Structure 1
Amino acid sequence: CVVAEKLDPQHRAQQCYSGQQEDPAAVEALLARKNCYQQMCLVLQKLYTAAACHPQSPSVPKSPGPMVQTTPQGYEEGLSPLEAQRLADETLSLALQSDDELCHVAIFDWLTDNKWDDKLLEIQSSHLENYLKRQTVGQVGQQQQTDLVAKYDLLWKFYEKSGQFIAAARVLSRLADAHSTAISLPMRIEYLSRAIVCARAA
């Protein structure tokens, strides 16, 4: 985030992201920042992958010779899974302490791409609500509708988790009434039931 700030001290990338400015300089600034964030996410990916890996136990060799202990792909040599987890969590926490919205967005995108929805919803960020709302911009096509439903699911779960029960109920009600073949009748009933529960909890 510090490097990104130095590359774009006038915050043109933010203006481009917000749609306020789309001149070549702003676009270039946005691309430069995205490159920095991509490197950060690659580090996080490597650390979390290492945290999830464990050296395999020695097995009976198929042929005579010294026993070889194999290491799964992604395991960081000299870094235990616990150490990798600690470094990953510290790196993520440090990045989220930044006021840089685009840095937060890059992390949100990375978590979403990895389907780590639970971890995404655990994040305490003032930018998360706007991010989730931006993700629900209308799409067309069956697959896009399915993806859109999943994004609305994240939005109501965010509201429910943060105690914004009326907002959660509104999103759930919208899902229950949505004109979409991606939402089955049992799902609509479930959404409506949850909407009622949220409304009563408000």
Structure 2
Amino acid sequence: MEPRARAARLKGQLNFPEDLKQLLHAFGAPSPPGSPPDQVPEPYPETLRVLDEILTDFIIEICHTAVAVASYSGRQKLKVDDFRFVMRKDPIKLGRMQQMYMTGKDISKDRKAFDAIGMGGAGAAGGKVAVGALVVFAEMGGEEGTGRGKGRGRGRKRKVVDQPDGAGDGDGAGEEGTAGKRARSDAG
């Protein structure tokens, strides 16, 4: 497969300069002559440019291949599985990708579980807080929750029709709903 041409807006611009500098320093790249020995050595600019080009081209090719896999499957959106399929022949890169994916899932799960109100964080200082969190917070303060905010949707609630004692021995929901409908049809 021939390499794709880089987009014009990416020419001459480094996408990952700091990351590549740290990577080269970690692997012991020599510094240019005349640089002070007591500072962190700066890698050769040409080395940075070439490595950045290689890395950018690699990412672009992986993304294009993943798009081709998704379109072959009949989808227009990319999934993580498309990238897994593209990386399937390189176990090191595949393992690192899966590790990063699981780490991201763990971080998002931990963020959801974090109780900002109990810690005195942004939720207590006027940030957005879920209704469920407020109910839990109120119950901790000694008040009973209202039960609002539970369930799906915000649709109209059924009216509760008062029935005489013993009239609604069934489950109640169906009879109350039909009683309300009968009353409307009789009136109208």
Bin the TM-score by the shorter chain. under 0.3
Q: With CA pairs under 8 Å and 6+ residues apart, which has the higher RCO, 1 or 2?
A: 1
- TM normalised by structure 1 equals 0.23
Name whichever structure is richer in helix by fraction.
1
- Which structure is larger by alpha-carbon Rg, 1 or 2? 2
- TM normalised by structure 2 equals 0.24
